[in-house]
Chains A and B, each alone.
Chain A
Amino acid sequence: MQRVFPFFLEAAWITVLLSVLTTILGLIFGAIGASARMSRFALFRFLGAAYVSVFRGTPALIQLFILYFGGPQIGIQLDAFQAAVIGLGINAGAYMAETMRGAIIAIDKGQIEAARTVGLSRFQTMRYVVLPQAMRLMIRPLGVNINAMIKATALVAAISVVELTYTAQRFIGSTYKPFEMFLIAGVLYMIIIYITGQAVSWLDRKARIN
């Protein structure tokens, strides 16, 4: 037991790193996707809707496989970790785009009309009226997306990134103690998810006070 523990801690660090990088990338892709879906131009709206529909409509595992194993055929050479971050980030972005769009359309239309009447441009209305309120609304649902995404980082074990699930699988194979290995990895996942949940709640409270 003591012998395997350091390996699990190191793997947990990789899971944390993956989660943080994927969250950042997911937020960027989510913002782009949400903007495209609400664009004035039909082409952007179509592209945004296609992005969300395709990446939410197919398994994340297959998306990772296309990028990592199929990438070299179309000139994309990535190592497993890079493919993991990019693949999971694009996938998470599709879910986050819907969350962000939901928060933005929840803002009362009357406010937008009022802002426009007062003389603000479309962009200014978004920047000073809609987004400050929508940001507050999206913190909690984005937290739900991030929670699901942390668990989805386990998928990259299948392209042999040495994170928590890969490590658990390896030690299940060598120690024949599936339940113990599951518990160690499981507790570490729950600690990561718990801390993330606390951070999201803290942000949410802070946003409410302002």
Chain B
Amino acid sequence: MGLDFTVIPQYLDIVLWGALWTILITLGAATVSFIGGMFLAVIALYAPLLVRLPFRAFAFLFMGTPLLLQLFLIYFGLVQVGIDVPAVMAGIIGLGLHFAVYNSELFQTGILAVDKGQVEAARTVGLSRMQALRKVVVPQAVRDVIPPIGNNMISLLKDSALVSVIGVSELTLSAQRAIGSTYRPFEFYVLVAVIYYIINLFMEAVQRRVERRVQASR
């Protein structure tokens, strides 16, 4: 069986719909990972030990195990405890939590890098601890860690392919559908690889622009 790329146009709309879903899932999971990462970082640094420990255990477990395994846990685990979420939601939550743990590590370094004197100054001026954290420390920490977080988000795009395994109709699964009726895996997987690569290049370009802005604002 040779190669025949002429089968592609007929299924292009299915694949492009899949690409759109991949972008939406990536954006959704990126948002979860950003907010979740910030939340985890603040807990890891400021919460009392009893609150910190379970979160530490969670982070330890999620950093030491494969994403695919975590996706199975979340998808089947939620069903097990009686929460019947659609696969898309399970995928977004799974990807989001996985990268929240990685982002949290970055946020923690960012927060610790902000000069202690600034917090003291903010407190002296009359801001509460919470206000000092929210208005003085966090904005600077976020700025400092944008480049490495950008790298995580590019990984997130590529890892979003894994949610096809739990049945989310994104780019990878849409290719599998087309392959199911054409029996042309090579052509469609190469097409999908090209689409991922283009989205990836686009994200890298955005990242470079944001990095330049951040550099300029220092």
Contacts and interface: CB of A to CB of B under 8 A. Distances in A.
Interface of A: 54, 57-63, 65-66, 69-74, 151-155, 157-158, 164-165, 168-169, 172, 176-179, 182, 185-186, 189-190, 193
Contact of B64 (A61, A168, A177, A190): A190
A185 B69 contact: yes
A183 B43 CA distance: 24
B200 A57 contact: yes
A69 B179 contact: yes
Contact of A66 (B67, B160, B164, B189): B189
Could you tell me the dominant secondary structure of chain A's interface residues? helix
A186 B72 contact: no
Given A70-B189, A189-B64, 19 more contacts: A58-B197, A60-B158, A61-B172, A62-B193, A65-B185, A66-B193, A69-B189, A70-B185, A73-B185, A73-B186, A74-B186, A154-B69, A165-B72, A168-B69, A177-B80, A182-B72, A189-B65, A190-B61, A190-B64
Contacts of B45: none
Greatest chain A CB density within 10 A among B65, B67, B73, B160 is at B65
A127 B134 CA distance: 53
A159 B161 CA distance: 14
B189 A154 contact: no
A4 to B, nearest CB: 15
Which residue among A58, A152, A155 has the maximum number of chain B CB atoms within 10 Å of its CB? Answer: A58
B66 interface: yes
Nearest to A194: B64
B18 to A, nearest CB: 12
A61 B80 contact: no
A165 B76 contact: no
Contact of B66 (A63, A74, A189): A189
Contact of B76 (A69, A71, A157, A172): A172
Contacts of A62: 161, 172, 189, 192-193, 196
Nearest to A59: B161
B159 interface: yes
The 5 nearest A-B residue pairs measured at CB: A70-B186, A154-B66, A69-B185, A59-B161, A178-B76
B68 A165 contact: yes
Contacts of B196: 57-59, 62
12 contacts: A61-B162, A61-B172, A62-B172, A62-B192, A66-B189, A66-B190, A154-B66, A154-B67, A165-B66, A178-B77, A189-B65, A189-B66
B48 interface: no
A182 B185 contact: no
B3 interface: yes
A72 to B, nearest CB: 7
Nearest to A148: B155
B50 interface: no
Given A66-B190, A72-B1, A179 B68 contact: no
Nearest to A152: B66
A189 B193 contact: no
B172 A168 contact: no
B65 A190 contact: yes
A60 B186 CA distance: 15
A17 to B, nearest CB: 16
B85 interface: no
